[in-house]
Structure 1
Amino acid sequence: MQHKIGIYVRVSTEEQAQVADGSIESQQHRINGFIDIKKHQEKGWGKVVETYIDDGYSAGSTNRPAYQRMIRDLKTGKINLILVTDLSRLSRNISDFCDLYKDFGKYKANFLSIKEQFDTSTPIGEMMVFNMVNLAQFERKQTSERISMNFHSRAMRGLVNGGSPLLGYDRDPSNPGKRIVNEDEAELVKKIFRMYDEGQSQNAVADQLTKDCEKRKDLGSKKYRHIKDGRWTLNAIQNILKNYAYIGKREVNVGNKNEKQEYLKAWQQYQIVPAAWDAIIDEKLFARVQKRMTEAHHKERKRFDDGERRAFLVSGSIRCGHCGMALIGQSAHGKTQVHRYYGHRQVVGEKIACPIKRFPAVEIETAILRHLDTVLSEPGYLDQIERNIEKSAGVDKKATKHKFDSLQKSIEKTEREIESIFKLVTNMGSGTAGADLIQDKLQTLAEKKKTLEQELNLVIQAEESAGQVETAKRHIEANAKAVKLSLKKAKPHLQKKLLGALFQQLVATDTGIKVFYHLAESKNLIGNLVKTKKPSEKNSDGDSISSSWRTSQTLGFFSSKSSPIHCVGGGGGN
């Protein structure tokens, strides 16, 4: 049987810098050379169907785009042999490898490592393979621990291990692990601590600094738009006020601050040590600030705990269709009752220019729950969703099947023609007139066969897309049933989680709610299919591969003072 080979190559970021022989190009060269030898030893041994490249991904987990695509192809039968240079390229996690090994048996597939060519059909061969993966996992964890301990050692000496620039300090050019005081910025840091210590709130401090056009530290990143716009935020003030660096201290393992220290190793425990730079703020002032911040936090926590709880089922999942901003739950006190709304999230220093100020929460939530009933109860609704997806994706099952059969026949016909010419050449003596014509004919047929095979691969990909559309429909139905079954009995915070499992995103406009469904197996969006490309994921020909579908279903509604939002129409998407 001819193997349908999937070549898998991978390097992590560290390995790219340290291992020249393990580069992407080197791995591909070694694998292709191995395939040539096997074909020479055994005619028709195998054919390379696809090459999967994960550049800059660790084998400590399966969260790798090319790896996931390879597993999908293995399950659909596109490939039945995974070829790697060594086992550590495939996995450095024994649990992940056990799952993969089960899939090999389930889908009648196999893998082959050039370095460790163990026969897994025997007990000793299988044992050796698992031992090699165990060793790879041990090596990965040992390297990770060694790096962590080195970072800890530097931190205990008061040095920094990278990180963003800090207001009031510059990096020491002679020692990047140290900081030197920036006198101009240090005055601003003192001003911030003094303003808060004198009784101003953190928000008031942020507003005043923005009005005074005080310059923030440039972090050199576009994502910090507040810095580029010259705005001070609550988070910026908080990060400065609680930072021990300003009193010449260094927090070590701050991520483990709230963990039980007795259960951690010595190099994992939270500590505060002297820093390798001078202090800007007096320790007594810093202590007063920390005390006031703690008291303010406790008061806010108490106010929140004592206040009336109001549930907003889609807060965090819904956005405004006009301006794109996130919508969050808000409440307003009327004369006789409290009204719930979904309004734009306020950002310090930004004005909301959206024509729609807010959406009534009851109407939004009623429309969504009614839509959930429609998905499950209206005959043909899910089928209409599936047709919308196929139409948007350009998937035509009948046409695809017809083209597949036609290409298969053309390839078989071309192969018979090539075989006939080979027989003719065998029966003819060398130097026979017309040999050049026969050679040209063979070349033409070979190019024709290659073109047909390329077209066939495209058709196979289209068939896989059709299968994914059907899978998407089944997941929407299964998730909707699970949510509907549990929704009525669940408390509000659980209702929110249940709806979040079904809907990835909701977009509200003045005419409807656009729903983006959430697949159970991945974080892809489902509905009317629009392909989105990931430039980091390439196939063997260097073309971008579309691996996620973004589709939507629109709930039409109208709103007035006397009427709630209503769903209209069936499965039509936009």
Structure 2
Amino acid sequence: MIAAVYIRKSREDKNKPSHRLTVQREQLPAYALAQGWQVEIYDDGHASAARGKVEELHERARLESDVRSGKINLILVIELSRLSRDDSLQDYVSWLYLCSQHGVKLATPSRQLDPSQHSDWMLLLMEGGFSSVEMKVLQARMAEGRAEAYRAGKWLSGNPPMPYKYDRGAGGLIVDPDQMPTFRKMMRLAELYPASQVADRVGIPSVTVRRAISDDRLLMYQGARRDPDSGATIDGQWPAVIDHLQAERIRRNRGSRRKAPRRQYAAMLSNLDILTCGYCGHSYRAWKNGRTRVDGTRLDYYGCRHKDKSDACQSRMIPTHILEERVLTNLFGLLSKAAELQRAWEARQDSDDTPGKLADIDREIEKCHTKKQRLVEAVADGLLSPADVRQKRNEIDNTIGTLNQKRAGLLSAQAIAPDWDALKITRQAFDHLYQAEQREVIASLIAQIRIFPTYALITYRFPRNENGDNIARIHLPERQKPAGPRQVYKVKKQ
């Protein structure tokens, strides 16, 4: 018989002397050899098996692989909780299923249990439940301890900011004399200059300066912190390196900085993720034209982003005002018929029986989940063997998967009701909006604009006719190349 000796200890078990790694490494292999078993060691050392941390258990992953390949007959641990410390029992039960499927027994120095036996399965579930409760209690106590230490002003963990360092002997933060000159210079400059200039003068990243002059960090430099619950100031167990007067001067200088101007986009349709090249599928962007025409005006353009590459796209450049006017004319022409579109859409939905089909599928899925719950009860009562349970569970899971696929297909085919209130905006009201507000309106009504040489296809987020079609085609003016280096677009007069 090949016995896998699994060794692990977490920091939560510091009050259990029997769980010391030296004890496990000495006693478990000796016990296995005394039983006449062949020994294979799997040692994860100091590591946690709590939920979300099992990816760090590399030796346990190797053990799982060997169990699946049939190399292991028995797993020996100092305590069954060494395999899993998941407070939700999901990981622990998955290990029980794995061992049951491959005929692997679980053992401690005091007993052996076979997960494929009904009575042993029940004992293993009970022991896992006790371990889960113990883990929840430990986590609650640790959270209380961290909160109490925080309120006491202790430094909990992590790398402290400049100019502090952690002293193991003192068990807290102390001032690093090597960092103090740089820190003092940074604080003096922060009273006069913005963070970017302070970073350049001191020679440190600007993000470090911005963090250093934040409200929470300035409070920490005064030897205090703020209670997240009550907002009260807590005295920290570390020395202050600035006073409240200097902190206030830094705040005033920080607040007096000139605010960044409101962002102005190059064009109305740019950066909305709706303009797409009909040639190559890349997105379109706005191109700023540096040349001025004879009449003093300047034409900006929309063009494919792939024109920046060496193998540039052959699509055309379109003046921004031409494309925007054509799109808006088509859009507001549709919006003028919004009431008719709404009535036609609602009439089509009255004959749709998709909600009834979805309700039937939901009832079938609920029945399947009820059957799965009954399987768990049957296993607990010893009425079914693990093999029968696995087979029936797989059948139920396959049925649920098929039902979910049908449900997803119905949902994808089901039409979503448009925001009819948003379709009531007029062109006159639109023209009086700010640019950012106009862009929001366009993004809410148009899903995509594909641009081709002589036309563009607009995909709306609402049906544009009684048949439910949402794609419109608009004509683009032809391009002429006169004698000269510049391209001229002929715009027909209305």
TM bucket (normalised to shorter chain) is 0.3 to 0.5
Give the TM-score, by structure 1 length: 0.40
Q: Which has the larger radius of gyration?
A: 2
TM-score by length of 2: 0.46
